[in-house]
Amino acid sequence: MALQPVLVIVLCGKRKSGKDHVAERLKLMLKDVLAVLQLSKPLKEQYAKEHGLDAERLLDSSSYKETYRRDMIRWGEERRDRDPAHFCRLATAEADKPVWLVCDARRPTDMDYFTSHYPTLTVKVCASEDVRKERGWVWTDGVDNAPSECALDDYSCQMLLSNNGDNVMLTQQLEQICDLAFSKLKL
């Protein structure tokens, strides 16, 4: 049974914007009070099970995942069409800390689930196209123009977090998030 959170931090952003990096930094800063949740984890685990694939390799940022990404997107969309909150519920089922970090929101239904059930801070991780290319991003038709990449383009997050390589700026922004989380813990 999941612990009710005092705050859910929901990250979204384009591929190679640095969502995982931001999540790792927040994990270090919030330590024992933070549960990191991935909406893609239950999706990838179930996809791997149904297709005889290595779930662990689908969860990392390897070329293995890229081989299956397009079909995995299609498969996940079919599941979401039947139940938009399915993967959200699975990801939160065993959260056991007072602050949750959802590091991979992709759709308005993901945002709606968290904002309607919990106190939430929505954060869009932003990086320029040039920076994303430096991190290995290459435009892929059927991926970069799919709902999993574009559905939140116009979503109005509460915070825009710049992740273009300025570590001082990034740290200041992450400290603001941590200050909010710690203030919620004190209530």
Is residue 176 marked as binding?
A: no
pLDDT in tens, 52-110: 999 989 988 778 988 998 899 889 989 989 999 999 999 999 899 999 999 999 999 99
pLDDT attached to residue 95: 93
Inter-residue contact 160 to 124 (CB < 8 Å): yes
CA atoms within 13 A on the CB side of 47: 25
Number of structural domains the chain divides into: 1
pLDDT attached to residue 70: 86
Asked whether residue 123 is domain-assigned, the answer is yes
Query: What is the average per-residue pLDDT within 13-32?
Result: 96
Is residue 133 marked as binding?
A: no
Confidence of residue 147 (pLDDT cuts 50, 70, 90): confident
Q: What is the CATH number of the domain that holds 83?
A: 3.40.50.300
Asked whether residue 152 is domain-assigned, the answer is yes
Asked whether residue 171 is domain-assigned, the answer is yes
Is residue 15 marked as binding?
A: yes
Asked whether residue 127 is domain-assigned, the answer is yes
Is residue 132 marked as binding?
A: no
Strand partners, 100: 8, 35
Output the CA torsion 132→36→26→104 (10° steps).
Answer: 20
Query: What is the average per-residue pLDDT within 36-47?
Result: 91
Asked whether residue 17 is domain-assigned, the answer is yes
Is residue 173 marked as binding?
A: yes
Is residue 164 marked as binding?
A: no
Is residue 89 marked as binding?
A: no
Asked whether residue 19 is domain-assigned, the answer is yes
Is residue 44 marked as binding?
A: no
pLDDT attached to residue 1: 57
Amino acid at the residue 113 = Y
Is residue 167 marked as binding?
A: no
Confidence of residue 2 (pLDDT cuts 50, 70, 90): low
Domain that holds residue 35: 7-186
Query: What is the average per-residue pLDDT within 22-36?
Result: 96
- For 90, residues 6+ apart whose C-beta sits below 8 A from its C-beta are 42
Is residue 165 marked as binding?
A: no
Query: What is the average per-residue pLDDT within 102-123?
Result: 96
**What pTM does this model have?**
0.89
